[in-house]
């Protein structure tokens, strides 16, 4: 029994610790976020994406946004945007789906390599101005959630070490 307790203690001590803020790239301290190229018909979406991602990175605090000499860079494109009717009753629309297709490249400029790239990130969210069960009541709220999901994906796929 004594050996079992010792083995368990050693395993617990030597097991890897989990941290949401761990980084596989500790040399990355600063980031430059390039304005996304907008290939959609929603002409202000590139500015919304840029401002939202900048806010999310600032609030996260792992990387400081800079304009000169960054350690890493985030580039992207908005490939497509749609806001489609999902459900309706008679002439009234009950629910819409916002869908945005992105291309994203996250590069390590210090080591001159791409850390993560995805050419087809399709994110969507539904909203309804009439349904009380919907999480979002406007197109803008759905867009904001999609951009937050994009930010979370960028961090998960590029900086976070599991």
Q: Which domains does the chain have, with CATH numbers?
A: 23-158 (3.40.50.10610)
Predicted confidence at residue 139, as pLDDT, reads 95
Predicted confidence at residue 97, as pLDDT, reads 95
Predicted confidence at residue 56, as pLDDT, reads 98
> pLDDT for 100-131, tens place per residue?
999 999 999 999 999 999 999 999 999 998 87
> pLDDT for 64-91, tens place per residue?
999 999 999 999 999 999 999 888 777 7
pLDDT at 26 over 80: yes
- What's the chain's average pLDDT? 87
Q: Does residue 109 come out as left (phi exceeding 0), alpha (psi in the -120 to 50 range) or beta? A: alpha
> Is the full-model pTM beyond 0.95?
no
Percent of the chain clearing pLDDT 70 (strictly above): 85
Query: Cα separation of 93 and 67, whole Å?
Result: 44
CA–CA distances in Å: residue 140 to residues 38, 42, 47, 148: 17, 12, 13, 12
């Amino acid at each position: 029994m004594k050996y079992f307790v010792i083995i368990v203690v050693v395993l617990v001590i030597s097991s890897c610790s989990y941290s949401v803020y761990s980084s596989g790239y500790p040399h990355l301290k600063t980031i430059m976020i390039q304005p996304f190229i907008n290939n959609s018909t929603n002409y202000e979406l590139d500015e919304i994406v840029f401002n939202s991602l900048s806010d999310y990175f600032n609030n996260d605090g792992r990387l400081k946004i800079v304009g000169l000499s960054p350690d890493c860079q985030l580039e992207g494109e908005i490939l497509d945007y749609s806001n489609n009717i999902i459900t309706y009753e008679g002439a009234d629309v009950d629910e819409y789906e916002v869908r945005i297709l992105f291309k994203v490249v996250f590069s390590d400029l210090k080591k001159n390599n791409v850390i993560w790239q995805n050419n087809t990130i399709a994110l969507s969210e539904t909203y309804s101005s009439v349904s009380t069960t919907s999480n979002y009541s406007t197109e803008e709220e759905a867009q904001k959630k999609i951009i937050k999901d994009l930010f979370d994906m960028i961090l998960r796929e590029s900086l976070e070490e599991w």
